[in-house]
Amino acid sequence: MTGGYRGDVPPEFEPELRDAVLGWYDERARVFPFRASRDPWAILVSEAMAQQTQISRVVEKWAGFMAAFPTVHAVAAATPADVLRAWHGLGYNRRALNLWRAARAIVEEHGGQVPREPAELEKLPGVGPYTARAVAAIAFGRPVGAVDTNVRRVLGRVAGGADGLPAAALQQLADSIVPPDRAADWTHAVMDVGATFCRPRRPDCERCPARAWCRYAAAPPDRAATRDSNPAERPFETTSRWLRGRLLDELRSAPDGTWTAIHEPLGPHDAEAINAALLALAREGLVELDPVEPRSARLPLG
């Protein structure tokens, strides 16, 4: 990678890099149930679940969710409460509400068919650039680069070394390097390389199939100088995310339409913190507040 290097992989190296990564993927790909599906809706569900969530948790929940809601029409016809209950255990519950909203938009605006193009997918609630490109590539074979944290790390290190690449240059590279005939496989393959070898700490450069083309592997940073020195995180149960999850768990256990009184304390959180969390959840549409009884709530019914 010398001469006219401008922050991307020189075109003459792209086929060799792709062949090496795809060759490794063909033999060692991670096996997940949702990767066997070609149903665009099922793929959209798996990508929504995978946002900010460990893949092992997605594996546990995806099949059950698809059994409860096998089609986009099933989700669109459900109540938000139904979807939030099926989402239990995945966290970041706003994603469940957005998935319900996206299903309704797909049914009402797209005749029940998941859009094929990233620009149309991005118009759906909760679908950002990464998810739109991942669904377009995996479900429809569109040659677009889906850039998640793994892909950003792999391609950034390959082309930019320890400094990585600016976002715009990285997206341009990600789009240009997708093999037109294997967009889905390439999307999965780069993610697998990131998860298996190109880890944030202690990357296994020696075994990585992209090593021969990687600037990071050729000149790795001084690990002692880059050692993480973040302060210790506060206990999870003291966070607002923990409190929000506990509140929703209480409401999930109640029958549809039933108001549930929330009693304090919840863990270390007092009445003031609970009230603030309920108001925030209500503003986001994740709960409905009882207009008569303070601190009573229920899951939304539509």
How is residue 202 annotated by DSSP? Answer: S
* Cβ–Cβ < 8 Å for 220, 162: yes
17: closest CA among 148, 245, 173, 239?
Answer: 173
95: closest CA among 148, 48, 56, 131?
Answer: 48
159: closest CA among 133, 185, 198?
Answer: 198
Angle of CA points 29, 20, 190, to nearest 5°: 50
How far is Cα 136 from Cα 51, in angstroms, rounded to an integer?
Answer: 16
How far is Cα 262 from Cα 43, in angstroms, rounded to an integer?
Answer: 36
Beta-sheet strands, E only, within the chain = 260-261, 288-289, 296-298
What are the beta bridge partners of residue 15?
none
91: closest CA among 47, 44, 53, 43?
Answer: 53
Tokens found for residue 299: 């899951």
Known catalytic residue: 47?
yes
Cis peptide, bond prior to residue 265, ω within 30 of zero: yes
Catalytic residue among 12, 14, 27, 47: 47
* Cβ–Cβ < 8 Å for 205, 216: yes
Tokens found for residue 293: 């009884």
34: closest CA among 18, 55, 12?
Answer: 55
* Cβ–Cβ < 8 Å for 146, 130: yes
Catalytic residues: 47
